Amino acid sequence: MSVLKLKNTYSKRLEVFQPLDPHGQRVTMYTCGPTVYNYVHIGNFRSFLFADILRRTLERNGYEVRQVMNITDVGHMTEDHLADAGGEDKLAVAARKLGSDPFKVALHFEQAFAQDARALRLKVYQGGEAGDPALHPRATRHIPEMLHAIQKLLEQGFAYVVDSGEVYFEVGKFPEYGRLSGKVIDELEAGARVGVRDEKRDPRDFALWKVDAKHLMQWDPHSEKGWDPQDWKRYRELLPEGADKRIRAGFPGWHIECSAMSRAHLGHTIDIHTGGEDNIFPHHECEIAQSYGAYRTCVHGPHGAPDEGSQRKTFARYWVHGRFLLVNNRKMSKRDGTFFTVKDLLDPRREGRAELAAELEKLGFAGGRVPASVLRFALIANQYTQPMNFSLESLAAARAGVERIQTRYDRLREAVGDSADTSGVASDRVLELVNRAETEFDDALNDNLNTPNALAAVFKAVGELNSMELGPAEAREALRLMEAFDEVLDVLDRTERSGVVTREQAQAWLDPQTLRAKADLLKHWAEAPDREALWERIEAGQLPAFEELAPVESLDAAMIELFVAIRQNARKARDFKLADAVRDDLKRRGVNLEDTPQGFRWVRA
């Protein structure tokens, strides 16, 4: 198997990934998460999804990954936001609904985000472990850690307090500032841009602690008032003397949260730090500077020089950044109607975007809704190092792709059947195909997460399997391959969503005796309005008429089989109008029916 290579923003080179863990087993990963003062959009999710693909690729490589994705809930909500409730701004609307408690507003959007994250199958939000709050740390619950870091920075001479009670990081004290982004900020030019009454010593200096009375979230480092009791207790433990007396009540600067939280939950050194390309500067540049100043982490990683030998350890060893998503080759814009939240696409009508729903319907999306798996596929279908040009048409292509894979998966499941019989041997032809396809898939992902090539391997395998007749043992191997693909892609519906009805099974319903025996299977009889009459008919060995069953809404496998039998009966009588009506009716209830040489196949949409 190939080795994983990643483009490290720090070195600007493709590097072989090697975890810090001496046993080469555990990997720590920090993903810059969402700011929860609005609903997250698909551009945000492109970034989170590439991190998810990275995490799953690491797992395919046998690593045990601990991925932390923070929640930035120290927002920019001020009194102005609450006062101005007339606009379209969702923050204002939410604030009005939820009252003036900024924590409630943040929680509202955080929960909305978690919902989207689960829908789009971010692994950090799935499974039992996902309930661990340490995996999704909130900035507002790490004020003690941040003040601790700020105090360290002051003590070690990397920061200064100004008259207003704010704290700034002094960039001049850190010569490596700018190395990640490659930005050399010309002091003269920067100086020209600086505000008149700025208290900063150097225009490049950035805020660690801010003071602004208009902000709703406030913490006073010198008084318990307004603090979460647990946080206050932890703060007193971390800083028994309290923070510098000159620091006034306020709130943390943007960058310090990630330095503090990654250290709190992943330790001194993290293997991988991910984010969007806009994070490179200034956010990550500042994190490096702060972590160096506060925790004595060094700047560059082990690439060439092992961390173990160094007294000062690296803050983050691999910096991996995703490019922006564009819509119609521009940055998303509300004005141009090219701004999409995840919720907008999953259910446009619910979000009040009827026009969008209509457009999606035109592209063949039932109800104008985009299935989450399709959105996920669309957002991972090109390599994270390339800008993604998103369009509604790309969603239609994604849907076709997902359906192609899903159809193959469903049929393999049918071919395997439910027999626990694991005897039988797959032919070399199939074994070779499976091994080769899996290698190609992993090789592509290991090559800096080249998802287009990984998908090419998937589609190649699907195409080859489509043109083969597979025995149960072979289908089992092929199914395992599809499941291996899906460990990373995670776009398949793994529920029992399809079934086959043979001609013989359909025929059996026409036999009076069998019909009576099958009556018990029809659990949903109760839904039929005239069930007594129906029952009598069955007892008499007569197949019910299609019209009688039309009101039955929820279908199980037995009910579907009955519909198939009714349709087949009509087909035999060459009553194609009725036959098509039955098929259309099943479709209306979300069941697609297909004819096959052996009989019939049904698939839940």
Partner RNA sequence: GGUGGCGUAGCCAAGUGGUUAGGCAACGGUUUGCAAAACCGUCAUACGCGGGUUCGAAUCCCGCCGCCACCUCCA
Per CB under 7 A, which of residues 305..364 are in contact with RNA? 322, 324-326, 329-332
- Segment contacting RNA (CB under 7 A): 117-125, 129-137, 507-515, 578-586? 578-586
Which token pair is 367? 């109800």
Which token pair is 504? 């013989």
- Residue placing its CB nearer to RNA in the complex, 265 or 283: 283
Query: CA 39: distance to chain centroid?
Result: 14
How many residues are listed for the chain in this entry? 605
Contact between residue 133 and residue 140 where contact means Cβ atoms under 8 Å apart = no
The distance of closest approach from Cβ of residue 453 to RNA in the complex, given in angstroms and rounded to an integer, is 4
The distance of closest approach from Cβ of residue 240 to RNA in the complex, given in angstroms and rounded to an integer, is 29
Which residues are paired to 27 by β-bridges? 65
- Residue placing its CB nearer to RNA in the complex, 445 or 522: 445
Residue-wise burial string across 481-495, b where 16 or more C-beta atoms lie within 10 A, e elsewhere? bbebbbebbbbbbee
Sequence-distant (6+) residues with CB within 8 A of 358 are: 368
The distance of closest approach from Cβ of residue 427 to RNA in the complex, given in angstroms and rounded to an integer, is 18
The distance of closest approach from Cβ of residue 136 to RNA in the complex, given in angstroms and rounded to an integer, is 14
Give the residue, chosen from 102, 137, 250, 282, that forms a contact with RNA under the rule CB under 7 A.
282
Subset of 217-276 contacting RNA (CB under 7 A): 253-254, 275-276
The distance of closest approach from Cβ of residue 519 to RNA in the complex, given in angstroms and rounded to an integer, is 26
Give the residue, chosen from 25, 386, 439, 554, that forms a contact with RNA under the rule CB under 7 A.
386
Q: What is the DSSP string of 23-64?
A: TS-EEEEEE---BSSS--BHHHHHHHHHHHHHHHHHHHTT-E
- Residue placing its CB nearer to RNA in the complex, 205 or 438: 205
Subset of 21-40 contacting RNA (CB under 7 A): 32, 34-35, 40
Give the residue, chosen from 61, 279, 297, 341, that forms a contact with RNA under the rule CB under 7 A.
279
Distances (CA, A) of 145 to 149, 312, 457: 6, 20, 46
Contact between residue 320 and residue 7 where contact means Cβ atoms under 8 Å apart = yes
The distance of closest approach from Cβ of residue 338 to RNA in the complex, given in angstroms and rounded to an integer, is 11
Subset of 165-194 contacting RNA (CB under 7 A): 171, 182-185, 190, 193
Report the greatest alpha carbon distance in the chain. Answer: 96
Subset of 495-554 contacting RNA (CB under 7 A): none
The distance of closest approach from Cβ of residue 82 to RNA in the complex, given in angstroms and rounded to an integer, is 18
For residue 588, count CB atoms less than 10 angstroms from its CB and return exposed for 0-12, middle for 13-18, buried for 19 or more: exposed
Give the residue, chosen from 487, 576, 588, 598, that forms a contact with RNA under the rule CB under 7 A.
576
- Segment contacting RNA (CB under 7 A): 105-113, 490-498, 539-547, 576-584? 576-584
User: Which residue's structure tokens are 């984010």?
Assistant: 275
Which token pair is 522? 């029809």
Residue 196 touches RNA, criterion: CB under 7 A: no
Give the residue, chosen from 207, 346, 488, 586, that forms a contact with RNA under the rule CB under 7 A.
207
The distance of closest approach from Cβ of residue 546 to RNA in the complex, given in angstroms and rounded to an integer, is 13
Subset of 556-575 contacting RNA (CB under 7 A): 571
Residue 368 touches RNA, criterion: CB under 7 A: no
Residue 117, H or E segment: helix 102-119
- Residue placing its CB nearer to RNA in the complex, 164 or 466: 466
**What is the Cα–Cα distance from 282 to 165, expressed in whole angstroms?**
23
Amino acid occupying residue 36: V
**What is the Cα–Cα distance from 147 to 294, expressed in whole angstroms?**
11
Give the residue, chosen from 47, 67, 140, 151, that forms a contact with RNA under the rule CB under 7 A.
47
The helix-helix angle for 557-572 and 576-588 (nearest 10°) equals 160
Cis peptide before 282 (omega within 30 of 0): yes
Give the residue, chosen from 25, 389, 435, 554, that forms a contact with RNA under the rule CB under 7 A.
389
- Residue placing its CB nearer to RNA in the complex, 20 or 602: 602
Contact between residue 446 and residue 57 where contact means Cβ atoms under 8 Å apart = yes
Rounded to a whole number of angstroms, the distance between the first and last alpha carbons of the chain is 37
Amino acid occupying residue 182: G
SS3 content of the chain, % helix, strand, coil (to 5): 50, 15, 35
- Segment contacting RNA (CB under 7 A): 97-105, 386-394, 490-498, 538-546? 386-394
* Sign of CA pseudo-dihedral 504, 507, 509, 515: negative
Give the residue, chosen from 247, 288, 396, 491, that forms a contact with RNA under the rule CB under 7 A.
396
Residue 76 touches RNA, criterion: CB under 7 A: yes
**What is the Cα–Cα distance from 220 to 23, expressed in whole angstroms?**
44
Subset of 92-151 contacting RNA (CB under 7 A): none
- Residue placing its CB nearer to RNA in the complex, 225 or 429: 429
Give the residue, chosen from 397, 508, 510, 558, that forms a contact with RNA under the rule CB under 7 A.
397
- Residue placing its CB nearer to RNA in the complex, 363 or 543: 363
Give the residue, chosen from 164, 435, 596, 598, that forms a contact with RNA under the rule CB under 7 A.
596
- Residue placing its CB nearer to RNA in the complex, 145 or 287: 287
Residue 394 touches RNA, criterion: CB under 7 A: yes
The distance of closest approach from Cβ of residue 462 to RNA in the complex, given in angstroms and rounded to an integer, is 7
**What is the Cα–Cα distance from 576 to 61, expressed in whole angstroms?**
54
Residue 6, H or E segment: strand 5-8
Residue 235 CB neighbour total at 10 angstroms = 23
- Residue placing its CB nearer to RNA in the complex, 186 or 241: 186
Give the residue, chosen from 203, 221, 301, 371, that forms a contact with RNA under the rule CB under 7 A.
203
Phi and psi at residue 238, in whole multiples of 5°? Answer: -70, -40
Instruction: Print the binding letters for residues 442-481 with RNA: x by CB under 7 A, - otherwise.
Output: -----x--x-xx-xx--xx-xx--xx--------------
Residue 484 touches RNA, criterion: CB under 7 A: no
The distance of closest approach from Cβ of residue 601 to RNA in the complex, given in angstroms and rounded to an integer, is 7
Contact between residue 546 and residue 578 where contact means Cβ atoms under 8 Å apart = yes
- Segment contacting RNA (CB under 7 A): 288-296, 418-426, 546-554, 593-601? 593-601
- Residue placing its CB nearer to RNA in the complex, 119 or 521: 119
Give the residue, chosen from 404, 480, 537, 604, that forms a contact with RNA under the rule CB under 7 A.
404
Distances (CA, A) of 170 to 189, 297, 313: 18, 17, 21
Q: Which residue from 65, 78, 60, 77 is spatially nearest to 30, judged by alpha carbons?
A: 65
Q: Which residue from 354, 363, 459 is spatially nearest to 405, judged by alpha carbons?
A: 459
The distance of closest approach from Cβ of residue 523 to RNA in the complex, given in angstroms and rounded to an integer, is 27
- Segment contacting RNA (CB under 7 A): 80-88, 376-384, 418-426, 483-491? 376-384
